[in-house]
Amino acid sequence: MAKTLIFLGPPGAGKGTQAQRLVEEKGFVQLSTGDILREAVKKGTELGKKAKEYMEAGKLVPDDLIIAIIEEKLKELEGKDIILDGFPRTIPQAEALDRMLPAVGRTLDKVILFDLSDEEILRRLTGRRVDPKTGKVYHIEFNPPPEGVEVIQREDDREEVIRKRLEVYHQQTAPLIEYYRNQNKLFVVDASKSPDEVYKEILSVI
């Protein structure tokens, strides 16, 4: 049976990097809610049209609609190993996902929690700089820009913005940790290690 994984963790913990590697090396499909919603809107499906109304009004797309759109997507991906990234974000979404997966012939295999302290996240994200000409991303500590390259800090990499995102994460998403721990599905990886070490840890879990 195809694998179904969930990546949980705060912004900046490296979920996207590791998901990309599983996509390239192991043939997984990475599903982020934002991408799925945008794709449904672009295709103009019935569900996509409904989602578009909410998005254009600047409202959050309701859980039942998100679940229906994800269900539609999973039917297309029958037999493929998938990673859900950025979903579920809340307990009601997790409960809805539990009900939906059997309908598409799947079970949830593992939930991988990327464990990283708030301070380390701030260090990673506030240090990011972008070259506005090329879009290349640097880091003042880990990967400084070459001399003569002028870089800027993006709005969403400012400390106060990141603190706000972390606050939302802890309020909404942290309860999911207990939810999946109680289902014996939760596996914790130390996201402060090097990307290669984190990847090895993930492979040993899945």
- Which residues carry out catalysis? 15, 89, 128, 154, 165
The reply to whether 158 sits in an annotated binding site is no
> Are β-strands 82-85 and 110-115 bridged in parallel, bridged antiparallel, or unpaired?
unpaired
The reply to whether 21 sits in an annotated binding site is no
The reply to whether 130 sits in an annotated binding site is no
Of 76, 92, 81, the closest CA to residue 173 belongs to 92
The reply to whether 61 sits in an annotated binding site is yes
The reply to whether 62 sits in an annotated binding site is no
Residue 81: phi, psi to the nearest 5?
-75, 130
The reply to whether 127 sits in an annotated binding site is no
Of 74, 67, 65, the closest CA to residue 46 belongs to 65
The reply to whether 138 sits in an annotated binding site is yes
The CB-based long-range contact list for 182-186 (8 Å cut-off, 24+ gap) reads: 185/108, 185/109, 185/110, 185/111, 186/111, 186/113
Q: Which residues are annotated as a binding site for ATP?
A: 12-17, 128, 137-138, 193
Q: Which residues are annotated as a binding site?
A: 12-17, 33, 38, 59-61, 86-89, 93, 128, 137-138, 154, 165, 193
Q: Which residues are annotated as a binding site for AMP?
A: 33, 38, 59-61, 86-89, 93, 154, 165
